[in-house]
Amino acid sequence: MGYVQALQSRFARAPWLGALLAQVAALLLIGLLLMLLAQLSPWRPSLLLAAGMQGVLAAGLSRWFGLGVWWQVLGLLFVPAVLLANQAQLPAWVFAVGFVLVLLLNWNSATERVPLYLTGKQTREQLATLLERRSGELRFVDLGCGPAGTLLALAKAFPRGQFVGVETAPLSFAIAWLRCMLQPNCTIRYQSLWRTDLAEFNVVYCFLSPVPMPALWLKAKAQMPPGAWLISNTFAVPDVEADECIEMADWRQSNLLLWHMQADDIR
């Protein structure tokens, strides 16, 4: 594993650490740039412009660290938002509310080391292509469905199937539940993936992090029926080669890893 991959793997386990490092590194680099400008040029950027430059750099570093979109947006807006809020003299509770909202969206980052990753459009389309290959009953679960964008799109595309999303981040669950409440073949459960019985489903999809994949594989082997599929977005099971690997030509260089559960796999 290369240095960048090792760094991304570490920050997948603790994304808050990567976000903090991105902020600090961007502050230091922009500070050095401003010092050089002071020596070499009479031009002085405004404080807001400097904050915007820091935000762009922090977002870029967050992306390079392999952090999710939410962390990149946070990196982009954090310092400019603090500066604007300070100039506007906003009350302290505004910052508290902002912190709580971010926490409720990314609750699993702290509790299960699973940050909020959103499935891209191209990957969603490829998932639909895979599901078209299955005949008969379709019982699909998204482990950690977030705001349920992917789950809802698939449920609408396959009205014959039954789609379940499980989520424990409170705000993500609430958004997902509201979005899916009018879709009859789509259900959202406030439930940990570890308490979800995978025997109910013949397609299990997840976009988690490297940390839970070994334990998830053991759970899948113990519970999933023969002929079922385990599909992981990007994150592999260590030492277990996927039966199919579909590469996405997206900015994340993500891929879909698919394991066909065989009778020999089931305990």
Question: pLDDT: is 261 or 38 the higher one?
Answer: 261
- For the cut 60, the answer to whether the pLDDT of residue 212 exceeds it is yes
- The neighbouring-strand residues paired with 206 are 143, 232
Tell me the pLDDT tens digit for each residue of 62-85: 888 877 676 788 788 888 877 776
CB count within 10 Å of CB 129 equals 11
CA distance linking residue 10 with residue 145, whole number of Å: 23
Q: How confident is the model at residue 13 (pLDDT cuts 50, 70, 90)?
A: low
State residue 225 phi and psi, 5-degree precision: -75, 160
Q: Could you tell me if 261 and 226 are in contact, meaning their C-beta atoms sit under 8 angstroms apart?
A: yes
Question: pLDDT: is 221 or 39 the higher one?
Answer: 221
Per-residue pLDDT, averaged over 182-207, amounts to 94
Instruction: Work out the percent of the chain whose per-residue pLDDT is above 90.
Output: 41
Tokens of 30: 């922009």
Q: How confident is the model at residue 93 (pLDDT cuts 50, 70, 90)?
A: low
Per-residue pLDDT, averaged over 114-122, amounts to 68
Could you tell me the domains of the chain? 3-90 (no CATH), 121-260 (3.40.50.150)
Say how many CA atoms lie within 13 Å of 203 toward its Cβ. 24
- For residue 16, what are the CA distances in angstroms to 40, 80, 115, 118, 153? 36, 19, 9, 17, 30
Question: pLDDT: is 210 or 165 the higher one?
Answer: 165
Query: Assign residue 144 a region: left if phi > 0, alpha if psi is -120 to 50, beta otherwise?
Result: left
Where does the chain show beta strands of DSSP type E?
139-143, 162-167, 186-190, 203-206, 229-233, 244-247, 255-260
Q: How confident is the model at residue 12 (pLDDT cuts 50, 70, 90)?
A: low
- For residue 148, what are the CA distances in angstroms to 45, 74, 155, 173? 42, 21, 10, 8
Q: What is the pLDDT of residue 267?
A: 45
CA distance linking residue 143 with residue 77, whole number of Å: 29
Question: pLDDT: is 185 or 41 the higher one?
Answer: 185
- For the cut 50, the answer to whether the pLDDT of residue 266 exceeds it is no
Per-residue pLDDT, averaged over 89-97, amounts to 60
